[in-house]
Amino acid sequence: MRRQRQAKIVATLGPASSSLDTIRALFEAGADVFRLNFSHGSHADHCERVALIRRVEQETGRPIAILLDLQGPKLRIGRFAAGPVALEAGAAFRLDLDPAPGDATRVSLPHPEIFAALEPGAELLLDDGKLRLRVQDCGLDHAHTRVVTGGALSERKGVNVPGVLLPISALTAKDRQDLDFGLGLDIDWVALSFVQRPEDMQELRALVRGRAAILAKLEKPAAIERLDAIVEQSDAVMVARGDLGVELPAEAVPRLQKSIVRACRRSGKPVIVATQMLESMVNAPVPTRAEASDVATAVYDGADAVMLSAESASGHYPVEAVAMMDRVIREVESDPYYRTVIDASHVAPVAGVADAICTSLRQAADLIPIAALVTYTRSGATSLRAARERPVAPVLGITPHLPMARRLALAWGVHAVHVGEGIHDVAGMVETARAVARAQGFAAPGAPIAIAAGMPFGTAGTTNLLHITEA
């Protein structure tokens, strides 16, 4: 099964999309990566979904990536004694460590790390930014605040502290348990929520130990301040616009989205644009025109993938949402202006043999009607370097490792194929490339293909060969 587009689709699974038939339909509609949101659902739920995804993978013969999304340190207030309260603008409101149920004058905030980082004048956002409090004075166990923006507040609502670097790990005890469980299921990607520092990604990598690729979710202003360092420590990045839009002005998010996409393209790291992309399709069979334009903008920017959250996890039209996203991507990529934009944003190559080869691949596709750019890869690096060039021709990534073929399902323009270990020389490489290009529907017999690989075979990170031949 060959996708007729280059950008990829990530679909979140949930109550609306947990059956074999629905997961199969989502894949057939265009989902390349399935996200398991560990903020919801039990381990048994996720285990069953992984088994169903792998069954679809076997049926279709196509590698499918599974993304484990860790919950991260979600900060919440405590409970209220008599249900929701109304906070009036200008009123005083206390937050403290006292676990007693709260009222309209105070509530528990069981996070001493927040109090340790607060200063007078700092602001706290409650319930996704619907309510805003300003700190008047504070100590290690309390904060007296003044309500800036009031409204109804119910228990266990989330708390955001914009502009404050919180002294907490992005990995909670729950995350560590979920990570151990997920790695035992052979998932392909691990997403870390609320990343603030590159050290957060280093901590995750040490725990994963190469068993999956790691992805940084950028949803904190502190992460933006150290963007390049976080990208460097990650295998991929997600622009998580939900919490990012809570802690930053809404008008700043589009600019930051573009900045993050550009940073990832410079580094050759896959980047996902996520959150509220087709939000109205949770309850409606078609999106708003603004939502379709939002998806299109991410594709024009050159994002590797766009993501559905509630639309596919709990909405009424999960398959329709994936199909709509697929159509929007294909419409954008068929626009002649799309190539103009992509070429104008082309990233200069790094001085080195591998980048020289992959730049030549792109140039070859510009000069002659190359049907496919075939990359032999063990580590995924050659395919990712080729994808970084955003070539006109599709990238056919051939790898002897099934886990790597699955990981590459996230990368722009890469159609990954798992082959055996039986390639030992150039002649075998060329013949395999020809056969795979024909079998996968990329090239008719006699059509030109370009091949990039490394010599000697079997050694990762040695891309040093470019060969143009006919399928």
pLDDT tens digits along 320-375: 999 999 999 999 999 999 999 999 988 888 878 888 898 999 999 999 999 999 99
Burial of 110 (0-12, 13-18, 19+ CB in 10 A): middle
Q: What are phi and psi of 416, to 5 degrees?
A: -85, 140
According to CATH, what is the number of the domain 353-470? Answer: 3.40.1380.20
- Reading the block at residue 114, the tokens are 């927040």
* Catalytic residue of the set 12, 145, 275, 375: 275
pLDDT at 74: 85
Evaluate the omega torsion of the peptide bond into residue 456 and state whether it is cis, within 30 degrees of 0: yes
pLDDT at 315: 97
CATH 3.20.20.60 residue spans of the chain:
8-73+170-335
Q: In which band, very low, low, confident or very high, does the pLDDT at 458 lie, cut at 50, 70 and 90?
A: low
pLDDT at 351: 77
pLDDT at 242: 87
What is the strand order of the sheet 159-160 is part of?
106-108, 92-96, 142-149, 131-138, 123-126, 159-160
Q: Say yes or no to pLDDT of 179 above 70.
A: yes
pLDDT at 71: 94
Would you say 70 and 193 are in contact if contact means Cβ atoms under 8 Å apart?
yes
Q: What residues form DSSP beta bridges with 236?
A: 215
pLDDT (tens digit per residue) in 96-147: 999 999 999 999 999 999 999 999 999 999 998 999 999 999 999 999 999 9
Q: In which band, very low, low, confident or very high, does the pLDDT at 459 lie, cut at 50, 70 and 90?
A: low
* 217 assigned to active site: yes
Q: In which band, very low, low, confident or very high, does the pLDDT at 256 lie, cut at 50, 70 and 90?
A: very high
Would you say 468 and 364 are in contact if contact means Cβ atoms under 8 Å apart?
yes
* 275 assigned to active site: yes
* Catalytic residue of the set 8, 197, 205, 217: 217
* 255 assigned to active site: no
Q: In which band, very low, low, confident or very high, does the pLDDT at 215 lie, cut at 50, 70 and 90?
A: very high
The residue assigned the tokens 């056969």 is 435
pLDDT at 243: 85
The H or E element containing residue 106 is strand 106-108
Q: In which band, very low, low, confident or very high, does the pLDDT at 461 lie, cut at 50, 70 and 90?
A: low
According to CATH, what is the number of the domain 8-73+170-335? Answer: 3.20.20.60
pLDDT (tens digit per residue) in 54-108: 999 999 999 999 999 999 998 999 999 999 999 999 999 999 999 999 999 999 9
CATH 2.40.33.10 residue spans of the chain:
85-160
Q: What's the mean pLDDT in 398-403? A: 95
CATH 3.40.1380.20 residue spans of the chain:
353-470
pTM: 0.93
Q: What's the mean pLDDT in 17-29? A: 98
Q: Say yes or no to pLDDT of 460 above 80.
A: no
* Catalytic residue of the set 35, 205, 265, 390: 35
The residue assigned the tokens 């004075």 is 137
Q: In which band, very low, low, confident or very high, does the pLDDT at 16 lie, cut at 50, 70 and 90?
A: very high
* 76 assigned to active site: yes
Q: In angstroms, rounded to a whole number, what is the distance separating the alpha carbons of residues 318 and 320? A: 5
Kindly list the distances between the CA atom of residue 79 and the CA atoms of 75, 143, 154, 236, 314, in Å, as whole numbers in the listed order. 13, 17, 8, 37, 26
Name the pairing type of β-strands 159-160 and 142-149.
unpaired
- Supply the mean pLDDT for the chain: 94
Q: In this structure, which topology does domain 85-160 adopt according to CATH?
A: M1 Pyruvate Kinase; Domain 3 (2.40.33)
